[in-house]
Amino acid sequence: MQKNKTNLSRRAFLKRTAAWLTAPCIVPASVFGRNGAVPPSERIILGGIGIGNRGSHDLRWMLPEADVQFVATCDPQRSRAEAVKQIVDTRYGNKDCVIYHDTREFLAERTDIDAVLVTTGDRWHAFASILAMRAGKDVYSEKPSSMTVAEGQGVVDTARRYRRIYQTGTQRLSEGNFTFCNEMLRLGRLGDVHTVRAHIAPWDAAEMRHDWLPAEPLPPKEEVDWDAWLGPCPWRPYNSSYTRGGWRGFYDFHTSCIGEWGAHTFAQCQVGMGAADTSAIEYKYVNNESGDKMETLFANGIKMILERDMDNKYFHGSCAIRYEGTEGWVAVGDGYSKPDVSNPAMLDDFRKLVYDYQARTGRPMSHVRDFLDCVKSRRQPVANPVVMHRSMTTVHAANICMWLKRDLKFDPVKEEFINDPQANRFRSRAMREPWII
C-alpha cells in the first residue's frame, strides 16, 4: 500500500479537524469596537492626494481620530509619497500604507477608500476634488480650492450630482474665537454692521508673474512625474524650485496674495454677514500692487475691505477679520487668546455664544471632525462647496479687478461680470489635455 504523503491517517486528520473546530477563536477586541476602538464597519477609510508640508499638518490632525484608517497616498513626487508613508506607518506601527503616483489609477483601483485628503498645490485642488468625487469619494480639500470661477462651479456641480461630501480647509469656521465674532454679528450685538475687514497676505502681489523659471534637466519619471505635477496647467519647463513650493507668485499656479489668505478670510466674513451663498457685487480698483484697501460691496449693503494692515491698526496675527457696526466692533486672528472687542463687556457671553452655536448647529469646534461627522451623516459641512465657491468667486473677482485696473460689477446670480466681456474671459482658463474636467 502506498504511504500517505503527509503521514497523516484519516482518523488522525478527523481528530485534528474536530479539535480545531471546537477550539475557541480569539478575535481582537478592536474588531468589535471594544476598549474604545471603532469597529471596521464604522471606520472611514481615507487616502491622500499630493500631501506635502501643509498636507502633513492636516494628516496629523486626522490620524488620531479613532474612526479614521489612512491606507494610501498618491503623489507624482516619490520623496513626498514616501514621507507620508513613513508618517502613517509610524502611527499605526506597520508597513501597510500604499504609495501611488498616478491619481487616475489610484482613484480607480482603491474602491475601498471612502474619502480623500487633497492637499496639492493650488493648481490641482479643484481638479483632484472633481476626479475624486466622480470616483465616489468624499473630499477634504485644502484652500484655495479653485483657480477660477469655472473650477468652483465644477466642484459645486460634481458634489451635487454625485452626492458627495466636500469640505474646504477654511478651518477658522470651526474655531471658537472666530465663531464668537460671527455670532456677535448674526445676533445683532454689533448693531447694524456696515463694514467688515478681511486680511490678505502681506507678501507677493495681485499681479502675478507670467514668465517661467529656466529649464533644468528633467528627473526620472519615477522620481518626479513632471507631466502629472503640472496637471491641467500649461506646459512649463521643469525647475526643481517649483516642486519645493516655488510655484507661488506665478499666474499658472497661484491665486495671488489675495487668494492666499482671502480664501480663509473672505469665507469667514461672508458666512458671518449671511452672504455664504453669494459673492460681492462691486469691486473698487486700488492703485497698488496687492489690492490693499480695495472695497467690495455686497447686495446686503455691507462693505468688505481687503486689508494687509501692516501697522496692525485693525487686527494682528494672520488670517484676521474685523466686523464693525453701529454698536461696536470685534476682531480676531490667529494667536488671539480671545477676540478684541470695542467693549470688554462683550466678552462676558463668550462661552455661551460658542456653546449656543454648537447646540443650534450640531457643529464641533474641529474642522476635521465636522467633515468626518458629515461623511457619516451625509449632511453638508460648514465649509461646503457653495461656501467655498462663492467666497472664492469674490477672491477671483478681486484679482480680476486688479489685473484689469478698473472697477467691476458682478452679477452673482448669473455668475458673470456686467457688460464686461474682457473680465468674463478670466472666469475660466484653458486646461491642458488630458487633464481636463
Q: Give the Cα separation of 141 and 58 in Å (integer).
A: 10
Q: Is the pLDDT of residue 9 over 60?
A: no
Fill in the amino acid letter for 138.
Answer: D
Is the separation of the CB atoms in 44 and 69 below 8 Å? yes
Cα torsion 228, 230, 236, 237: sign: negative
Q: How confident is the model at residue 10 (pLDDT cuts 50, 70, 90)?
A: low
pTM: 0.91
% pLDDT > 70, the chain: 92
Q: What is the mean pLDDT of residues 176-196?
A: 98
What pLDDT score does 41 carry?
84
Q: Write phi, then psi, for 322 (nearest 5 degrees).
A: -145, 135
Identify the structural domains of the chain with CATH numbers, from first to last: 38-171 (3.40.50.720), 172-207+254-425 (3.30.360.10)
Structure confidence by residue, pLDDT tens digits, 198-224:
999 999 999 999 999 999 999 999 999
Is the separation of the CB atoms in 262 and 268 below 8 Å? no
Q: Give the Cα separation of 344 and 283 in Å (integer).
A: 34
Short-list 122, 124, 150, 175, CA closest to 320: 175
What pLDDT score does 294 carry?
98
Q: Give the Cα separation of 411 and 283 in Å (integer).
A: 12
Q: What is the mean pLDDT of residues 183-210?
A: 97
Q: Give the Cα separation of 395 and 385 in Å (integer).
A: 15
SS (H, E, C) the chain: CCCCCCCCCHHHHHHHHHHHHHCCCCCCHHHHCCCCCCCHHHCEEEEEECCCHHHHHHHHHHCCCCCEEEEEEECCEHHHHHHHHHHHHHHHCCCCCEEECCHHHHHHHCCCCCEEEECCCHHHHHHHHHHHHHCCCEEEECCCCCCCHHHHHHHHHHHHHHCCCEEECCHHHHCHHHHHHHHHHHCCCCCCEEEEEEECCCCCCCCCECCCCCCCCCCCCCCECHHHHHCCCCCCCCCHHHHHHHCCCECCCCCHHHHHHHHHHHHHHHHHCCCCCCCCCEECCCCCCCCCCCEEECCCCCEEEEECCCCCCCCCCCCCEEEEECCEEEEECCCCCCCEECCHHHHHHHHHHHHHHHHHHCCCCCHHHHHHHHHHHCCCCCCCHHHHHHHHHHHHHHHHHHHHCCCEEEECCCCEECCCHHHHHCCCCCCCCCCCC
Crossing angle, helix 367-377 and helix 53-62, to 10 degrees? 60
Q: Is the pLDDT of residue 23 over 70?
A: no
What pLDDT score does 17 carry?
47
Highest-confidence segment of 3-7, 37-41, 354-358: 354-358
Q: Write phi, then psi, for 74 (nearest 5 degrees).
A: -125, 130
CA-based R_g, the chain, Å: 25
Q: How confident is the model at residue 21 (pLDDT cuts 50, 70, 90)?
A: very low
Q: Give the Cα separation of 99 and 414 in Å (integer).
A: 42
Q: Give the Cα separation of 207 and 254 in Å (integer).
A: 11
Structure confidence by residue, pLDDT tens digits, 343-370:
999 999 999 999 999 999 999 999 999 9
Q: Beta strands 138-141 and 166-168: pairing type?
A: parallel
Q: Give the Cα separation of 311 and 15 in Å (integer).
A: 85
Q: What is the mean pLDDT of residues 156-165?
A: 98
Largest CA distance in the chain: 105
Is the separation of the CB atoms in 235 and 287 below 8 Å? no
Q: What is the mean pLDDT of residues 283-306?
A: 98
Is the separation of the CB atoms in 236 and 252 below 8 Å? yes
Structure confidence by residue, pLDDT tens digits, 397-429:
999 999 999 999 999 999 999 999 999 999 999
Q: What is the mean pLDDT of residues 368-394?
A: 98
Q: What is the mean pLDDT of residues 125-146?
A: 98
Averaged pLDDT score across all residues of the chain: 93
Q: Is the pLDDT of residue 20 over 50?
A: no
Q: Is the pLDDT of residue 18 over 70?
A: no
b/e per residue 398-432 (b: at least 16 CB within 10 A): bbbbbbbeeebebebeebebeebeebbebbebebe
Site of grid cell 491665486: 255
Q: What is the mean pLDDT of residues 167-187?
A: 98
Structure confidence by residue, pLDDT tens digits, 83-104:
999 999 999 999 999 999 999 9
What pLDDT score does 16 carry?
53
Q: What is the mean pLDDT of residues 271-282?
A: 98
